[in-house]
Amino acid sequence: MSAENVISRAIIKKYSEKLCSCLRVQVAFVGAGPSSLMAARELAAAGLKVAIFERRLSPGGGIWGGGMLFNEAVVQDNVLSILDSFNISYEPVPDAPGYYTVDSVELASGLIFGAKKAGVQIFNAISVEDIVFKDNRVQGLVINWSVSKNSGLPIDPLTIIADIVVDGTGHPSEVLRYACEKAQVRLDTETGKIIGERPMWVESAEQETVAGTRQYYPGLYACGMSATNASGGYRMGPIFGGMLLSGQKLAAQISEQLQGTP
């Protein structure tokens, strides 16, 4: 067999094995932003079977660009222990006690690496185009290649079955929207629908993002900016402490719910 065939065969075989092993998972995340990566790392480290499906080629969500492509992000001192657990470095902001800068490339790559090493399977360039909905519960995802969806090709999807689905799609809250529009469910919000994100107010946004992290319908959670959008919280901008705390809270909630689930 030629080297070219060896390489192609190895890639196809290994990827197929990886995907087949994740057709049934305990927790399926949609979107590989900071809150998803944080939660997924914690859940996988606790022994749960976890997969993330990211439509872009590069996981990490909005971290990479920092603020307006200045690739630095800001965190608060209440998440430094989380950064330490990922071995991500940071520096204090002069004359602003409690705030620290983090290189956004290091932050994104560190969270991704930490999640992978904990056992999380990350599938990039895959879009979620629908949910699996049975017995008044979200029970999985309908997936397709992002390039197929973007090109408009009429290619049928595949499915992922999961005990818990997490909407980590950020500002659009895409999975919650599928539940509202296609399954006609009533979410756990004041209106029963996605309330919508408010303008920027950093201090409130940091707290509301964590407060909004929860189960919105049986089998369906939201974290990070998706939770903010769903619950009507304020926008936060390139500060990421609340995002990491959102993921930490989510992991605790899901662990408690799945305790004893085979």
Place of tokens 């469910």: 185
The end-to-end CA distance of the chain, in Å, is 42
Confidence at residue 260, expressed as pLDDT on a 0 to 100 scale: 59
Residue 185, C-beta contacts closer than 8 angstroms, at least 6 positions apart: 136, 179, 217
CA dihedral 58, 114, 29, 176 (to 10 degrees): -80
Q: What is the distance between the alpha carbons of residues 59 and 175, in angstroms, rounded to a whole number?
A: 18
What is the Cα–Cα distance from 227 to 20, expressed in whole angstroms? 30
Query: What integer pLDDT is reported at residue 21 of this predicted model?
Result: 98
**Angle CA 4–126–105, to nearest 5:** 85
Domains defined for the chain, CATH in brackets: 24-258 (3.50.50.60)
pLDDT at position 149: 81
Residues in the chain: 262
Print pLDDT tens along the chain (262 aa): 899 899 999 999 999 999 999 999 999 999 999 999 999 999 999 999 999 999 999 999 999 999 999 999 999 999 999 999 999 999 999 999 999 999 999 999 999 999 999 999 999 999 999 999 999 999 999 999 999 888 888 899 999 999 999 999 999 999 999 999 999 999 999 999 999 999 999 989 999 999 999 999 999 999 999 999 999 999 998 999 999 999 999 999 999 999 755 4
Closest among 205, 223, 250 to 167, alpha carbons compared? 223
Write down the pLDDT at residue 153: 86
**Which residues, 6+ apart, have CB-to-CB distance to 167 below 8 Å?**
30, 31, 173, 174, 175, 176, 216, 220, 221, 222, 223, 226, 227, 230
Q: How far apart are CA 242 and CA 240, in angstroms?
A: 5
Residue 135's SS3 state is coil
**Confidence (pTM):** 0.96
- Sign of the Cα torsion 244, 58, 54, 174 reads positive
